[in-house]
């Protein structure tokens, strides 16, 4: 089958393209600009057009190859030239969920889906890592780059498919998992879910579509009380040595999932599968941009929600103490003004209790509502006391300050879903 991906540079679409190619399909795609994902795909000799998506490349491929399926990112507007042309050509058109379901059903795979507001990418990475370490064949799709495998991969020997099931655009409601892992639930994606109750109902529906659900009793006990076939965990195994309480909790979801799979396959796996799972988790190398060490004492993290900031700072404090460092310094770039309007009252001392110094940058602006006032850094940080905040921009002065903090023995943690990560790598990663 020949498949064309419009917006192939997105992490979700790019992973699906890799998966489709490894499953034996021919892949083409386009995007308006280069990204880490398109760079990775081009190194694998994917046929990709970067630049103006005016339909010429799509028409060229259709005339020479005949496209069987046109997949487009949810970010594509209804009047996008490629989408309009795909309709005119009479192509089969869908977002990524329909193709993914097709591949899962075509290969007769059991879906292990990871969802939640926070932690789903890392937890999906943990599952992939554990399956690889234990030698259990698996296929997968994850919304990031991995340092131990492709973002999307099909193994013809696999029985299971591991998937990061995103609640954005209600994507996860298109699937019926064999097992679902739900990491945490905090109201998010207000453009899709108009109320917190609507957001919770989507997770309840997702759990109801799953044959079995793994989650945490202290967060979700009441939410899932009427869902059958569930495990609601109370505590993490003390043998888990990963830094960060949230990592330990998410690792426990992985352990319970492997135990559940083991119960379906008596005698198929090693008798000490449980202990081997813990051992594999304790060696988990992490994934890109999730507390990723990019230079000595400098870490980059994608988190940009107050709940994520609090959890990651707790882990940073733990790592700093275990490494004999003097403390934790946070460099924070808020993401999207529309999001900051929603969380503007949530930046409190409690969120930042595990950092000694804060450098606050202007908000990274993307897909903004022009009717909303751009909230300033000093307004967003107004509830944080102690005089530990300084304000800065992405420039040489900031680079000098980070170098100074690193040399003074601080663990420097940069948190951003915007331009800070790339700037940090340009200035501190040795090529």
Q: Does 417 reside within a domain? A: yes
* pLDDT tens-place string over residues 148-187: 988 899 999 999 999 999 998 898 999 999 999 999 898 8
pTM of the full predicted structure? 0.82
244 and 343, same structural domain?
no
Three-state secondary structure string covering the chain: CEEEEECCCCHHHHHHHHHHHHCCCEEEEEECCCCHHHHHHHHCCCEEEECCCCCHHHHHHHHHCCCCEEEECCCCCCCCHHHHHHHHCCCCEECHHHHHHHHHHHCCCEEEEEECCCCHHHHHHHHHHHHHHHCCCEEEECCCCCCCCCCEECCCCCCEEEEECCCHHHHHHHCCCCEEEECCCCCCCCCCCCCHHHHHHHHHHHHHCCCCEEEEHHHHCCCCCCCCCEEEECCCCCCCCCCCHHHHHHHHHHHHHHHHHHHHCCCCCCCCHHHHHHHHHHCCCCCCCCCEEEECCEEEECCCCHHHHHHHHHHHHHHHHHCCCCEEEEEECCECHHHHHHHCCCCCCCCCCCCCEEEECCCECCCCCCCCCCCCHHHHCCCCCCCCEEECCCCHHHHHHHHHHHHCCEEEEEECCCCHHHHHHHHHCCC
Whether 410 is covered by a domain: the verdict is: yes
- If asked whether residues 412 and 380 sit together in one domain, one would say yes
Considering the domain architecture, whether residues 73 and 121 belong to the same structural domain is answered as no
Q: Both 310 and 412 in a single domain?
A: yes
Residue range 82-96, pLDDT digits in tens:
999 999 999 999 998
259 and 404 inside one domain: no
pLDDT at 81 over 70: yes
pLDDT (0 to 100) of residue 431: 55
What CATH number is attached to the domain comprising 378? 3.90.190.20
At 379-398, the pLDDT tens digits run: 999 999 878 999 999 999 99
Is 101 domain-assigned?
no
Q: Does residue 8 lie within any of the structural domains? A: yes
Q: Are residues 128 and 272 in the same domain?
A: yes
As for how many domains the chain has, the answer is: 3
Q: Provide the domain limits for residue 206.
A: 107-282
């Amino acid at each position: 089958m020949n498949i064309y991906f419009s917006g192939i540079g997105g992490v979700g679409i790019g992973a699906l393209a890799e998966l489709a190619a490894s499953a034996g399909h021919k892949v083409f795609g386009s995007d308006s600009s280069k990204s880490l994902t398109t760079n990775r795909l081009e190194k694998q000799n994917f046929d990709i057009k970067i630049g103006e998506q005016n339909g010429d490349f799509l028409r060229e491929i259709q005339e020479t190859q005949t496209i069987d399926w046109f997949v487009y990112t949810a970010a594509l507007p209804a009047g996008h030239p490629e989408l309009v042309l795909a309709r005119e050509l009479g192509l089969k058109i869908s977002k990524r969920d329909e193709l993914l379901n097709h591949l899962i059903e075509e290969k007769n795979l059991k879906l292990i889906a990871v969802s939640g507001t926070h932690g789903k990418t890392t937890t999906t990475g943990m599952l992939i890592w554990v399956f690889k370490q234990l030698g259990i064949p698996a296929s997968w799709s994850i919304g990031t780059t991995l340092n131990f495998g492709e973002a999307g991969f099909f193994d013809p020997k696999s029985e299971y498919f591991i998937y990061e099931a995103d609640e954005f655009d209600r994507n996860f409601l298109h699937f019926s998992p064999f097992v679902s892992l739900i990491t945490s639930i905090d109201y998010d994606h207000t453009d899709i879910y108009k109320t917190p109750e609507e957001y919770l109902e989507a997770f309840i529906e997702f759990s109801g579509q799953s044959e079995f659900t793994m989650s945490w009793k202290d967060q979700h006990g009441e939410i899932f009380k009427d869902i059958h076939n569930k495990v609601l965990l109370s505590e993490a195994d003390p043998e888990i040595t990963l830094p960060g309480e949230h990592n330990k909790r998410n690792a426990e979801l992985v352990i319970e999932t492997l135990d559940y799979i083991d119960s379906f396959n008596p005698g198929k796996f090693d008798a000490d599968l449980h202990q081997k799972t813990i051992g594999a988790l304790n060696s988990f190398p992490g994934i890109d941009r999730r507390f990723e060490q990019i230079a000595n004492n400098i870490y980059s993290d994608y988190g940009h929600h107050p709940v994520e900031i609090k959890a990651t700072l707790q882990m940073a404090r733990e790592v700093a103490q275990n490494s004999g460092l003097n403390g934790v310094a946070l460099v924070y770039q808020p993401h999207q003004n529309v999001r900051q309007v929603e969380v503007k009252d949530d930046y409190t001392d409690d969120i930042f209790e595990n950092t000694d110094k804060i450098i606050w940058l202007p908000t990274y602006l993307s897909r903004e509502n022009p009717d909303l006032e751009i909230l300033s850094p000093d307004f967003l940080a107004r509830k944080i006391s102690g005089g530990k905040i300084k304000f800065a921009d992405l420039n040489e002065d900031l680079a000098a300050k980070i170098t100074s903090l690193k040399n003074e023995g601080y663990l420097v943690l940069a948190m951003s879903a915007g331009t800070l990560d790339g700037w940090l790598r340009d200035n501190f990663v040795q090529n």
